[in-house]
Structure 1
Amino acid sequence: MRTRTKGIQSTANNGKIVNKEYRGKRVYARLGAVSQEEAEAWLRKEQTRIDNELEQGTQRNFAIAARKYLEDCERRKVRTLELIAYHITLALPYIGTKPLEAVHTGSLQTFCDSRINDDGVTPTTVNRTLEVVRSILNKAARVWRQENGLPWLVSAPLIEMLDETPRLPYPLAWEEQSRLFGELPAHLELMALFAVNTGLRDDNVCGLKWDWERYIPELKRSVFIIPAAEFKGNRQHVAILNDVAWKVVESCRGIHSDYVFTYRNEKKSLPANRVDTMNNTGWQKARSRVNLSQVRVHDLRHTFGQRLREAGVANEDRAVLMGHATSNMSEHYATPTISRLIEMSNLVTKTRDAMTLLRVVNGN
């Protein structure tokens, strides 16, 4: 028999039963011979418990904390925002719904095993994601506060990093480059070809903007001035384009209004968008198919530096072309200087055997 309070029923022997759905949770109990007031008090207490549980769970859910962390990074104009978001995306399927108190080294073990065994990445790569997770937990424990003044997390757990075996650079031989690039999707081949001829890092290739381009009429060639906020070490860098890199840029012109390098999913009829990282599934599958799983995207930069040395380019010019910090380095160069640097950069092609077919640029 229903009583004056919805969800509370009286039994034949004057007992009370609570049977109610509250905020998506079933509340059920046989309270026995209690008064209506006692039954209502019990129900109110249970509803308060559910309120607190849901409120706490929302605040301490890792996905919610990760979103707040990204908002903080965006507000502070963190240069690596998109890379941080990428690492969070990798971790969310494993720990996104877990309360912050349940995120620790043990709960991340499945993620670590999957990345190493299934995706074939190195412990160093996995540690980059773990570092982001650790930063979020530290913020939750030391900075962020609930309305009652308490921290989101009582204390941040120790997130143990994986043991890293130092990995030496692996500059590509020309034959290896030809095999690897030939297996890459067309948009990644262009990006890799550009990277191996400019020495730019992954994030600078992916984030290269047309707004940074500066055309030099006397040379009929452009350079890209990468802002300090976008370049490692917070230094502005003038990216010099040799003949190959210039042809790559020209082949991308007019495709996207903002970014030089983009990807368009034609199967889903989606517009062209920026590529978050070259180290994606397409890259990993391609290097595996040609037995070059040891080659990282950053090795394209090492390859450019190695070829400059093999071509006899002086240390000072190599430092400028690679974007290394030097005491006498200028952020802007006169046209004759840029002309000489283009000439030096073109020397990398002289280190090849006879000829490497540039399938994407030349269309052969």
Structure 2
Amino acid sequence: MSLFKRNNSPYWWIKITHNGRTIQRSSKTTDEAKALEYHDKLKASLWDQERLGIKPRYSWQEAVIRYLAETSGKASTISDKTHLRWLDKYLNSLMLDEISRDVIEKVMAKRMADKVANSTVNRTMEIVRAVLRKAAFDWEWLERVPRVRMLPEPKRRIRWITKDEAGRLIRALPSHLSAMVRFSLETGLRKANVTGLQWSQVDLARRTAWIHPDQAKARKAIAVPLSVAAIEVIREQIGKHPTHVFSYKGNSVTQVNTKTWHATLKKVGITDFRWHDLRHTWASWHVQSGTPLHVLQELGGWESVEMVRKYAHLSSDHLTQYVDRFSTIQAGEGSRATFWLHSVK
């Protein structure tokens, strides 16, 4: 028999080892006698499961441990852990079959009470849904998954800057940030791929760089063709750091959203602009220059063309021929225009 107290909980906790499986959960009582009774009932239940073939019950805590083990390669693992830590105080003591829709709604209300954006609430609830779905469909720990409601999120507009604005920003930034901005606008690489770029990932002779699968958001390798301007930026960094392309005072760069970055944006009059918007700017410039969407998809390492269509409205060149074909106004000399009707054959 094992009863113990946790520093962050007023309740007695139990710990049982059964057939090599360690079960640890809250008794949800401060009464030691009742906790002992719960302990004994749980042991009897485990015996029933083994001898009578009754399906065992699993806890949220057990599900989280297995979920993290199976998804350790996800690009969003760090973010997932942040959300799971927040969820711990509400779900840690529950069995999976105790997590009903009502419980989920109460957890959502707690998250909303933190005064965070709807998108943040949704990311937290998506983790709840992901763990429960794995428990039900992959591990068969759960008979059914309760519905997890999502809050409406405003559709964010594509924020990009003009080449004139980019020039002002580049000139005003310190040299190490300026170099990374120039490189981002030439390659469209995400922040982590720029700050983490190593010399071993660059071949100047072949004018290419590459992002390894474990560094890419879609977990697929990305070939990065280097423009003349991108090569110029890289050559400027030679000799500054032994392993990383971009550095600051001899150290590799890990953070770019600094006070200097925000102060410089304000100084040059650029508002509502994040570092990731450099990628939007790169994509927008490409589309405006006539780069086909399927080519942009490959250049940017997007998983599907649907993810690139948000930039399609920035170019209408491919639609011009259809507009001209339909037009009922024929321009004449000077400012004169004559109306004509298409003949119907």
Deviation string, structure 1 residues 98-151 (Cα, Å, up to 9, x no partner): 23545624313443564735xxxxx45654454333212211233336xxxxx1
What does residue 106 of structure 2 align with? Answer: 106
Partner in structure 1 of residue 188 of structure 2: 199
- State the percentage of identical aligned residues: 25
| Cα distance in 1 between the residues matched to 2:86 and 2:299 | 41
Q: Is the 8 A contact 1:169 1:302 kept in 2?
A: yes
Q: What is the match of residue 240 of structure 1?
A: 225
CA deviation map 1:4-38 (0-9, x unaligned) = xxxxxxxxxxxxxxxx9932336556xxxxxxxxx
Confirm or deny: 8 A CA contact 1:226 1:236 kept in the other structure.
yes
Q: How far off its partner does 1:303 sit?
A: 1.0
Q: CA deviation at 1:198?
A: 0.9
Report Cα offsets for 1:316-338 as digits up to 9, x if no partner: 99636545799xxxxxxxxxxxx
Q: Secondary structure at the match of 1:96?
A: helix
Give the match for residue 161 of structure 1: 150
* Match runs of 1:1-364 below 5 Å: 22-24=3-5, 25=12, 28=32, 45=37, 47-49=39-41, 60-62=59-61, 65-74=63-72, 78=73, 81=74, 83-97=75-89, 98-99=91-92, 101-102=98-99, 104-112=104-112, 114=114, 116=116, 123-124=118-119, 127-144=122-139, 151=141, 153=142, 155-174=144-163, 176-177=165-166, 191-202=180-191, 204-205=193-194, 208-216=197-205, 222-227=207-212, 231=216, 236-250=221-235, 251=237, 255=241, 257=243, 260=245, 294-308=272-286, 312=289, 315=292, 319=296, 321-322=299-300
Q: Secondary structure of the equivalent of 1:224?
A: strand
- Structure 2 gap segments, 5+ residues each: 6-11, 13-29, 46-56, 305-345
Q: Paired residues, what number?
A: 260
Aligned partners of 2:110, 2:265: CA distance in 1, in Å?
A: 23
**Is the contact made by 1:200 and 1:322 (CA closer than 8 Å) also made in structure 2?**
yes
Quote the Cα distance in structure 2 between the aligned partners of 1:52 and 1:193.
Answer: 66
Greater relative contact order structure (CA < 8 Å, 6+ sep) = 1
Deviation at 1:224, TM superposition (A): 0.8
Change in 2 beyond 3 A, CA 1:242/1:305: same
Tell me, yes or no, if the aligned pair for 2:185 and 2:282 is still in contact at 8 Å. yes
- The 8 Å contact of residues 180 and 286 in structure 1, kept in 2 or not, is answered as no
In structure 2, how many angstroms separate the alpha carbons of the residues matched to 1:214 and 1:72? 35
CA 21–307 in structure 1, closer or farther in 2 if over 3 Å, else same: closer
1:69 deviates by: 1.9
Distance of 1:110 and 1:181 partners within structure 2 = 43
Q: Distance in 1 between matches of 2:176 and 2:43?
A: 50
